[in-house]
Amino acid sequence: MVDKSMAEQVPVPWATGGNEGDESGEGRDERADSPDERAPRTLVRIDDGWARGIGIPGFGIVIPNLTGLFGPLGPSDALYWAGYVWFIALAAVIWQGNRGLLFAQRAHWDWFQHPVRKLSFLLAANVFYTAPVTVGWLWLWYAVAPMTFDPVTVQTVALANTICVVFVTHGYETAFLIRERSDDHLDAERMRAAKAEAELAALRAQIDPHFMFNALNTLAQLVRSHPERAVEFTESLAEAYRYLLTQRDRDLVLLRDELALLDRYAFLLRIRFGDQLTVDIRDPDDRAGRLLIPPVALQFLLENAVKHNRLDGDPMTIDVFVGRDGVRVRNPRRPKLVESSAGVGLTNLRERTTLTIGRPLEVTETAESFEVWLPALELTA
């Protein structure tokens, strides 16, 4: 890509990007010619200075030599070198003129809506602009050069120029379509990212009310049954909620911090249930400081286990095991006869995990146990 100061930039319609135009005024949104045609999309710009910088002098030098336009003239003749300037100027007029016609029609028609009209215009513009300009330019050349006007040579040059223009136009169209395709992909990615961020924000907003709803229910029961434990519960709840406030806007947090919250929350539950509940946390490879999970995920899984199982009779042990790329939380099944649920639950956590980790959590349920595998991301050095 050449420096922008060296090349003017070309607008491309019906794609995203800047909306400034080139020298022909193609930078504005315009209405289509007929009522059934939609307005073009915002124009984008590409840099074609390098192509013109190479192509114009290239055609101006190669075609005259291949078609014999110099005749008997040689490097010792001043007109020979003036001829190069003349034919390079012809190449510039043909290139710039067809370029302007191409951009003019692109502001109104695209390949998907009007392919026949677009193709017809391009071919007509290429032929009926390039051929007359070539013939007139060569007539002036033969008027000053020491050669007789040669209709066959003029016809050959006009045909060669037209063919070259068709190929260059095809190159422009291909470049524009690739750019539009790339911009469409970028737009789709931006839309997906914005949608995911909006979904994640909505899911995060559900965490605090869900946590507080259950905690206040527990506190209300303690106030009635064990007032002395209610004070201790309130102090521990304040510490846990302080953590929630600091982590609420994060997509991922360290597993080590989540395990600390889990331990505090387990303490809150033990105040209520006594020895009926045990939480066994194992991290044999000491990976908690290197793994990331969604905030409050483990606290929810512990809360979910307590919510849906009876805590009477034999103590219930909830196993939390830190693996290589995730955490397994397992509890025995002791279903309550009547259950109530706010509907947030595993659906919330599954969606948050998919959005932040890129993988959903896995649930394995049997008659004896309920197990959740929560995937994690590993911190890289």
Chain length of the chain: 381
pLDDT of residue 20: 38
Mean pLDDT score, 306-312: 84
Is pLDDT of 288 > 60?
yes
Cα distance between residue 70 and residue 147, in whole Å: 9
286-289 long-range contacts, CB within 8 A, separation 24+: 287/255, 287/322, 287/323, 287/324, 288/254, 288/255, 288/256, 288/259, 288/322, 289/254, 289/255, 289/256
For the stretch 220-251, pLDDT in tens is 887 888 787 788 888 878 887 788 778 767 88
| φ, ψ (nearest 5 deg) of residue 61 | -95, -45
For the stretch 170-201, pLDDT in tens is 888 788 778 777 777 776 776 566 556 645 55
Mean pLDDT check: name the lowest of 1-15, 200-214, 277-291: 1-15
Mean pLDDT score, 89-97: 90
Let me know the angle formed at the C-alpha of 68 by 64 and 74, rounded to the nearest 5 degrees: 85
Mean pLDDT score, 122-135: 85
pLDDT of residue 85: 93
Q: Cβ contacts of residue 156 below 8 Å, gap of 6+?
A: 67
Cα distance between residue 326 and residue 257, in whole Å: 15
pLDDT band at 150 (very low <50, low <70, confident <90, very high): confident
Mean pLDDT score, 41-67: 81
pLDDT band at 21 (very low <50, low <70, confident <90, very high): very low
Is pLDDT of 118 > 80?
no
For the stretch 335-355, pLDDT in tens is 887 655 544 578 878 888 888
H-assigned helices in the chain: 49-67, 78-106, 115-144, 151-205, 207-225, 227-247, 255-273, 297-308, 345-357
pLDDT of residue 47: 76
C-alpha closest to that of 43 among 105, 109, 107, 98: 107
Is pLDDT of 142 > 70?
yes
Is pLDDT of 78 > 60?
yes
Cα distance between residue 324 and residue 151, in whole Å: 81
Strands 377-378 and 291-293: antiparallel
pLDDT band at 210 (very low <50, low <70, confident <90, very high): low
332 bridge partner residues? 369
- Mean pLDDT score of the chain: 77
Q: Helix axis angle, 227-247 relative to 207-225, nearest 10°?
A: 170
Q: Helix axis angle, 207-225 relative to 151-205, nearest 10°?
A: 10
Is pLDDT of 326 > 90?
yes
Q: What domains sit in the chain, N to C, each tagged with a CATH number? A: 9-201 (no CATH), 206-378 (3.30.565.10)
Strands 44-47 and 277-282: unpaired
pLDDT of residue 206: 54
CB 309 within 8 A of CB 365: no
Question: Between the CA of residue 159 and those of 87, 149, 155, 305, what are the distances in Å?
Answer: 15, 17, 6, 81
Cα distance between residue 245 and residue 296, in whole Å: 11
DSSP 8-class letter at 46: E
